[in-house]
Structure 1
Amino acid sequence: MLKNYLKIAWRNLVKNKVHSFINVAGLSVGMAVAMLIGLWIWDEVSFNKYFKNYDRIVQVWQNQTFNGVVGSQTAMPIPLGLKLRESYMSDFKYVVLSTWTMEHIITNGDKKFTKLGNYVQPEMPDLLTLKMLKGTRAGLKDMSSIMLSESLAKTLFGGADPLNKTLKIDNQWVVKVTGVYEDMPNNTEFREVTFFAPWDLYMSTMPWLKRAATRWGNNSWQVFAQLAPNANADKVSAKIKDLKLKNIAAQGDKLGADFKPAVFLHPMNKWHLYSEFKNGVNTGGAIQFVWMFGIIGVFVLLLACINFMNLSTARSEKRAKEVGIRKAIGSQRIQLIGQFFMESLLIVAFAFVFSIVLVMLTLPWFNGVADKKMVVLWNNPWFWILGLVFSLISGLIAGSYPALYLSSFKPIKVLKGTFKVGRLAAIPRKVLVVLQFSVSVTLIIGTIIVFRQIQFAKNRPIGYSREGLVYMVQKTSDIHNHYVAFKDELIKSGAVIETAESGSPVTGVWSNNSGFDWRGKPPGMLDDFATVGITPDFGKTVGWQFKDGRDFSTAFLTDSTGVVINEAAAKFMNFKNPVGEIITTDGKPYHVIGLIKDMLMSSPYEPVKQTFFFLDKDPQGVVTIRINPKMSTRDALEKIAAIHQKYSPASPFDYKFADEEYAKKFDGETRIGKLASFFAMLAIFISCLGLFGMATFMAEQRVKEIGVRKVLGASVFNLWQLLSVDFVVLVIISFIIASPVSYYFMHGWLQGYTYRSQISWWIFGVSAVGAIIITLVTVSFQAIKAALANPVKSLRSE
């Protein structure tokens, strides 16, 4: 019986080539999309599971209240980590202080590279259960040691054994390699870390760090921990909640206490998907995209199944006699159902094979867009089990309606010739077409809104000129110690027109401070300003724009206590004419000499933070350069590199273009937009395949009607209009359904951005016109072909 089912199914498949191609192609694309999304979701939900103690690892966070608004942050003071290690080890197995993952120069002889790494306390390798390839996890107990990732070890030493070899960090500290660990996967929070160095070495690098070790108000580090076997994160959070508040108050830091810091633990299993906090409450994060793409995957696969059901039921008249004869000679309905399900499963089997091929072909591109390193899980039995179950379910869903519908035909009516499908039989097909295009139009509208939000943020005034602006983050003091000579030589080379030093790059803020006073400050008001130390030529170099006052100048000695503020700061302090106003901090007065337009240094989707720019004699951190527009960028960089090599021979020439770094701020949204547009195009493609198949069937079904109309004088345009209007009506209904659905979801998505675009009516108009044009293009081929056919051939049998 099964062999007979397969033979008949294969014959039907080969006999109706166009019908079979549309079904296999549609299902292949739908299943490929579902597989890609499934791999993406698997990668997301398995984030950080590489670490053995995934369920026990936590990061210490704190909530701080700023004028009634609670903000959550991971930046912590050193003494908090030390206190947890000293007094709360009954609740923790490990507590580890860590710097942020930052760039450092790693030198091995003549080889020098800029690599990302962390200074950590010795227990970090055990906490992360690093997979050691050489050495042991105890390798950071020696102050002059370093542990390298496998890739960095190969870069530095090739195939030689790196153990006990010496390196230099930032051209200053000599360390010995005590371990090599396996590179951490791309779907971990520490994927960019190429080395770990000892915390004690870090504490010895700069004198101010020893003072910071006792200051509870200096939030500049990270604290990671592993809970003890019987400890509960929520209970431990409640126990340590007021730890910082009590100690900062005891230290006499009234301002820090006014922020009401509340310490809590954030589990590793929530770091990636549940990383967003609003007013101190965890509101989600990347999990919204997991749900969104999961739903898209289900709907795209459903579209493919709808195509199959539509085309199978549409061709029911052609198979009515077959069903009648089968029933007349004794076939049971269950046997007919089995036959039709077998045909469906055979198509799905072909589609599954082709879908794997499509996944293999598109996965490299998909990885590039999604910023992933996913692979097909060939060796994972769950991949095959889920794939086969997935295919079986798809086949059953796709074949359910045709099987039940076709097997229900009455043999007497069919064989007598009195069987008519009836007008109502077309209603389910029309409903399915409407559902198809509702999904497609919703995706089109959503994609347009995402890209419009990105463009809206890109067009936001930034308050400075990015063109030709380059900056270099300094890891050593070589350039700073010879800055005047370095600058003069750059200018004389003709490659540079301006240069300056600053404590932060123009695309970010690295320092924030509180405790400022000014005239009219309300009692009890808490303040928080971004602060950037600069040299006098910073404004000229970046091209900031003045609204009032003047720039810093070496001609005015009083500028050492001057400050330039932005519009956000003036608004925050309620200054209408800020120039000349006095701002005090730690008892030292500063006078405002200039007001500039807001410089967009942080997120382009958030309001610009109130910022102070002040002169700093020692702003070691960033050197910003304005390239001469009259010289090609390549030539200019070659000259700058040569001068940089002269003054800092042991440091690699690492530079960043301000416009490229600014563009990276849109990476997340751009990635979502590209993925959404990719899925939208595939959804439209599948829907168009279905429309094409339906148009082919309708043209065949109405061939005699078209012949009669043509003989009676109907034009090609009249016939094209006749065959197309039904589909256009269905697409318009789809648009009416999709518009409020897409508006609801996209309006909610936009609420996550403070600086956001509006959902304009033209977006829906463009989507509607686009959907109608796509529909007309799809059905026009068959409609025009039918309209141009010779009526003699279609009416000959009459």
Structure 2
Amino acid sequence: MFKNYLKIAWRNLLKNKGYTLINVGGLALGMAVTLIIGLWIQDELSYNSYYKNKEKIAQIYQSQTFNGETGTGPAIPRPLEKALRDGYSDNFEHLIMCSWTNDHYLKYGEKSISRSGNYMQRVGPELFNLQIIKGEKDGLREINSIMLSESTANALFGSEDPIGKIVRVSNEHDMNVSAVYKDIPFNNSFNDTDWIISWEKYLANNEWIRNAEDQWGNNSFQMFVQIADNTSIDAVTRTIKDVKKNLNEDTAEFNPQIFLFPMKDWYLRSSFENGKQVGGRIKYVWLFGIIGAFVLLLACINFMNLSTARSEKRAKEVGIRKSIGSQRGQLIYQFLSESFLVVLFAFFLALLIVLLSLNGFNELARKEISFPWGNGLFWLVSLIFILFTSLLAGSYPALYLSSFRPVDVLKGNFKVGKYAGLPRKILVVVQFTVSVAFIIGTVIVMQQINHAKNRPVGYDKEGLIQIPTFSQDFNGKYDLMRTEFLASGAVVEMSSSSSPTTRIWSNRGGFTWEGKPEGFQEDLAWTEVSPEYAKSLNLKIVEGRDFSREYATDSLGVLINETAKKYLGMPDPVGKFLKDDDEEDPNPPLKIIGVVQDMITQSPYEPVKQGVYVYDRYNNSSYYNLRLNPQQSANQNIAVIERVFKEHFPAIPFEYEFIDAEYGEKFASEERIGTLSGIFTALAILISCLGLFGLTSFVAEQRKKEIGVRKVLGASIFNVWNMLSKDFLKLVIISCFIAVPIAYFIMNGWLQEYPYRVILKWWIFALAMLGALAVTLLTVSFQAIKAAKANPVKSLRTE
């Protein structure tokens, strides 16, 4: 019987090729969007699935309160390690100190590359479940050992066996390759960890880290743990939350709260606001999940509308079937079979669309999603997806068509009823409500991105590059390199800094100054710079003066930004001092010699942070900042700079970053979301228009005799167009008035997450409404004008 249902369904589909094409094409687009979004969501939700003990792994976080505002992050003091090991060891299976991920130059023979990695304590590789390919599993047992990822080992050694080979790190230390581990997959934390060196080596190389052993106020470290089997992350958090406050009086005023931040939340729920977890990328998972569901719903609505609209043409078929004994259930199965066949064809077409578009989608979304051909769960879900979509798309037409009374149909008394078209109208309103809401949302997202992009940066990022200086080879050579670069003609100014131009790497407090309020807890962004820093960035001095090599006292000078001037409560800061409030071992006071214009170093969606720029007395530079010669091409300048660089640092790979490109990365996440939303919105509109096109063509065919009579009686093309178009335009106008308040409520809530945000303006909503009306007119007009221009003789010939 089912075979007969499919045969009849196939014949009906072939008989009405136009409607079949619209149904299959619309459903395929909707299903393709849903499949792609489903693969994206699955990739997001499976982040960090590589780690075997994911549910037991956490990072130590702390919250601290400054002047009533609580900030939360992973930076912790080094003494916390000893406190947790000594007093709370029963709560942990593993506890490791780990450096921040940083770059080092790796050299073997004549080959030198730059790779990022971490210093870890000995059990780190076990904690993160590294898959050892060659060498020792306990690869950090020796202080001079280095573990390499498979891709890094291949880049350095090629076909040679790397185990036991000597790698020179940053041209300073010779390290023995003890193990090679499989690359950590893309959608996991530490996927950019290409090398691992022992924590003991980190201590041996850096005196400031050794000195931080008892410095509770130095939050420059991070720690990861695996909790014991007999406890939970929440229980351990309750146990250790006040450990820092109890053990150190100096930091107790900031009310430090220590807690475990579970690995399952690192990627999707990493945002905190005033000490409370408030979500993160999970909002995008929900957003795209909703978009996928609605796009599929739009495609199903098309099927429902076209099927019910053609009900009169199939009324006699239903009547005859019922009169010869067909039960209503059989008719329902028949129509659901047609629905299943359409959905099945649409699914295979959707698979083809997904396969053709997956590479482009990966590039756009910055993913490495592969199609899960061998995943049985995927095909099971796909089967459920096909059956669900068949029911969703075919249930209403099946129930509606099977309800016709055979007597009325066969006597010719069958009437669809005054309100028969109401469900179709409601579905069209739903379609365009969703589409208009999508348009408004996409426009507002792009407006917010452009609003932040157009924000004054505070410095000239065009023609500015930075070169990392992560090696002691650079120590003491800044003045020489500046002279060489300027003499080359490729550089017009150069400076050095302890942080990249587009980020803040260090924050400090512990200062007093004239007029400081009682109990004020300062938190200042701290950057050590060479005297030419402001000149190289074209950073404007708004008060006082810049650093000068002519004044020896400037070695204890400091520049502050405009936000710091307000933050410190100094109406006239030039000449004032920032004094160290450490009475036992105070540093010399810093004299404020000037105020610079605010520059964006963190998120462009956030207010500028109060910052100080200190004369670099101890050669703490991490970057050279070079202003390229504007009279020459960038490629020409870079070639000259590389030649000069290689003359002085032949063993170090030449690397550089354009600041404007680095700054542009701050918008990358929002831009990806905006672009994907725009594409999905366009597809939603296309699917809605396909349905509207099909409905218009059906209405035009249904009323062709009426149109013929009107034309014979003198109706113009405009009159016919107006008659066919106005009903659909009314529905779209209703959709607009429903969509606008919904979109306003949702997008206004989304914008509240950004302190620096665009103001919602009426023209955004008006533009979306006009756009929806214009698209509707174009879609409807094609069929309306075609019907209006048809020869009335053909339609009236049988009368």
On whether the aligned pair clears a TM of 0.5, the verdict is yes
> Partner of 2:615 in structure 1?
615
Shift of 1:89: 2.0
Distance 1:668 1:416 in 2: 64
| Contact 2:578 2:592 (C-alpha < 8 Å) held by counterparts | yes
User: 2:163 aligns to what SS in structure 1?
Assistant: coil
Residue in 2 that maps onto 1:457: 452
- Name 2:20's counterpart in structure 1: 20
Q: Which residue of 2 aligns with 1:570?
A: 565
Which consecutive residues of structure 2, in runs of 5 or more, have no partner in the other structure? none
Percent identical across equivalent pairs? 51
Deviation at 1:86?
3.5
1:88 aligns with 2:76: no
TM-score, length of structure 2 as denominator length: 0.98
Query: Would you say 1:39 and 2:39 are equivalent positions?
Result: yes
**8 Å CA contact retained: 1:217, 1:248:** no
- Judge conservation of contact 2:172–2:472 (CA < 8 Å) in 1: no
> Structure 2: which amino acid aligns with 1:455?
N
Moved more, 82-91 or 537-546: 82-91
1:271-420 equivalences under 5 Å are 271-420=266-415
> Is residue 444 from structure 1 mapped to residue 439 from structure 2 by the alignment?
yes
Amino acid at match of 1:32: A
- Map of 1:247 onto structure 2: 247
Q: 1:236 deviation in Å?
A: 1.1
Contact persistence 1:216–1:247 (CA under 8 A): no
User: How many angstroms apart in 2 are the aligned matches of 1:478 and 1:258?
Assistant: 42
Q: Is the deviation greater in 106-115 or in 658-667?
A: 106-115
Matched, 1:67 2:67: yes
Q: Deviations over 1:585-604 (max 9, x none)?
A: 24533222211211111110
Q: Deviations over 1:541-592 (max 9, x none)?
A: 0011122221111122222222211110011112222222222224533222
Q: State which drifts further: 281-290 or 636-645.
A: 281-290
How far apart are the structure 2 equivalents of 1:368 and 1:442? 27
Give distance in 2, aligned partners of 1:130 and 1:562.
Answer: 48
**1:195 alignment partner AA:** W
Q: d(CA) in 2 for partners of 1:283 and 1:484?
A: 47
Contact 2:528 2:621 in 1 (8 A): no
Report what 2:686 is aligned to: 685
Query: Does the 8 A contact of 1:482 with 1:647 survive in 2?
Result: no
Report the TM-score, using the length of structure 1 for normalisation: 0.98
User: Per-residue deviation at 1:491?
Assistant: 1.0
Q: Report the more deviating stretch, 127-136 or 4-13.
A: 127-136
Q: Deviations over 1:456-507 (max 9, x none)?
A: 0001111100110001121113234222221111111110000011111211
Amino acid at match of 2:241: K
The answer (yes or no) to whether the contact 1:34–1:300 under 8 Å persists in 2 is yes
**Equivalence for 1:427:** 422
For residues 162 and 308 of structure 1, the distance between their equivalents in structure 2, rounded to whole angstroms, comes to 61
Indicate the residue corresponding to 1:732 in structure 2: 733
Displacement after TM superposition at 1:538 (Å): 0.8
Please report how far the alpha carbon of residue 678 of structure 1 lies from its aligned counterpart in structure 2 after TM superposition.
Answer: 1.4
**How many Å separate the matches in 1 of 2:279 and 2:340?**
40
- On the 8 A contact 1:107/1:168 being kept in 2, the answer is yes
CA-CA distance at 1:722 after TM superposition: 1.7
1:69 is displaced (CA, Å) by 1.3
- 1:22-43 C-alpha deviation (Å, 9 max, x unpaired): 1101111111111111111111
How far apart in 2 are the matches of 1:275 and 1:189?
13
Once the 2 structures are TM-superposed, how far is the Cα of residue 650 of structure 1 from its aligned partner? 1.2
The residue matched to 1:48 in structure 2 has which SS? coil
Q: Secondary structure at the match of 1:423?
A: coil
1:410-559 correspondence runs (5 A): 410-559=405-554
Letter in 1 for 2:616: D
Supply the AA of the counterpart residue of 2:223.
V
Question: 1:93·1:228 contact (CA, 8 Å) conserved in 2?
Answer: yes
- 1:299 Cα shift? 0.9
| Structure 1 Cα separation of the partners of residues 638 and 689 of structure 2 | 51
Q: Report deviation, 1:757.
A: 0.8
Q: Whole-Å Cα distance in 1 between the matches of residues 282 and 685 of structure 2?
A: 26
Question: For residue 432 of structure 1, what is the amino acid of its counterpart?
Answer: L
CA distance in 2 between partners of 1:624 and 1:213 (Å) = 33
Query: What amino acid sits opposite 2:650 in the alignment?
Result: P
CA distance in 1, matches of 2:620, 2:717: 77
Counterpart position of 2:767: 766
SS at match of 1:213: helix
Partner of 1:213: 213
Task: Tell me the distance in 2 between the aligned counterparts of 1:693 and 1:763.
Answer: 30
CA-atom RMSD in angstroms: 1.2
Structure 1 range deviating more: 702-711 or 495-504 = 702-711
In 2, the alpha carbon distance for the partners of 1:575 and 1:734 equals: 55
CA contact (8 A) 2:171 2:473 kept: no
Q: Which residue of 1 aligns with 2:182?
A: 182
Work out whether residues 64 and 254 of structure 2, in 8 Å CA contact, stay in contact via their aligned partners in 1: yes
The code of the aligned residue for 1:286 comes to R
Counterpart code for 1:783: A
Question: Counterpart of 1:268?
Answer: 263
Deviation readout 1:97-123 (Å, 9 max, x if unpaired): 000111111111111111110000010
> How far apart, CA to CA, are the structure 2 residues paired with 1:602 and 1:274?
20
Determine the C-alpha separation between the residues in 1 that align with 2:227 and 2:472: 40
Give the Cα separation in 1 of the matches to 2:136 and 2:47.
25
Alpha-carbon separation, structure 2, partners of 1:575 and 1:502 = 26
**Distance in 1 of aligned mates of 2:440 and 2:592:** 48
Q: For residues 362-388 of structure 1, what are the alpha-carbon distances to aligned partners after superposition, in whole Å with 9 as ceiling and x for unaligned? A: 111111122111111111111011000
Shift in Å, 1:512: 0.8
Counterpart-to-counterpart distance in 2, 1:212 and 1:506: 27
- CA distance in 2: counterparts of 1:423 and 1:134, whole angstroms: 78
Letter in 1 for 2:10: W
Q: 1:192, 1:732 → 2: CA distance?
A: 51
Contact 1:61 1:263 in 2 (8 A): yes
> 2:499–2:621: 8 Å Cα contact kept in structure 1?
no
Contact 1:434 1:730 in 2 (8 A): yes
Residue 238 (structure 1) shift = 1.6
Distance 2:121 2:442 in 1: 46
Unpaired runs of 5+ residues, structure 1, are none
Letter in 1 for 2:187: N
Count matched residues: 793
Alignment partners' CA distance in 2, 1:480 and 1:793: 91
TM-superposed deviation, 1:248: 2.5
CA distance in 2, matches of 1:212, 1:451: 45
Aligned counterpart, 1:789: 790
Q: Could you give the per-residue CA deviations for residues 383-419 of structure 1, whole angstroms, max 9, x where no partner exists?
A: 0110001100100111101101001111111111111
Structure 1 residue 198 displacement after superposition: 0.8
In the aligned structure 2, how far is the partner of 1:487 from the partner of 1:537? 10
Deviates more, 1:214-223 or 1:381-390: 214-223
Whole-angstrom CA distance in 2 between matches of 1:82 and 1:656: 39
Structure 2: distance between partners of 1:722 and 1:6:
39
Alignment correspondent of 1:664: 665
Separation in 2 of the partners of 1:514 and 1:342?
Answer: 72
Range moving further from structure 2, 389-398 or 589-598: 589-598
Contact 1:437–1:687 (CA under 8 A) maintained in structure 2: yes
Aligned AA (1:690): G
Aligned counterparts, 1:106-125, within 5 A:
106-125=106-125
- Quick one: distance in 2 between partners of 1:669 and 1:585? 41
Task: Tell me if the contact between 1:22 and 1:690 (Cα under 8 Å) persists in the aligned partners.
Answer: yes
- How far the C-alpha of 1:14 sits from its partner, in A, is 0.5
Distance across 2 between alignment mates of 1:547 and 1:258? 35
Instruction: Give the aligned residue type for 2:119.
Output: Y
Letter in 2 for 1:652: P
Cα deviations across residues 1-59 of structure 1 (Å, max 9, x unaligned)? 22211111000010100100111011111111111111111111111111111111011
Q: Which stretches of structure 1, 4 residues or more, deviate above 4 A after TM superposition? A: none
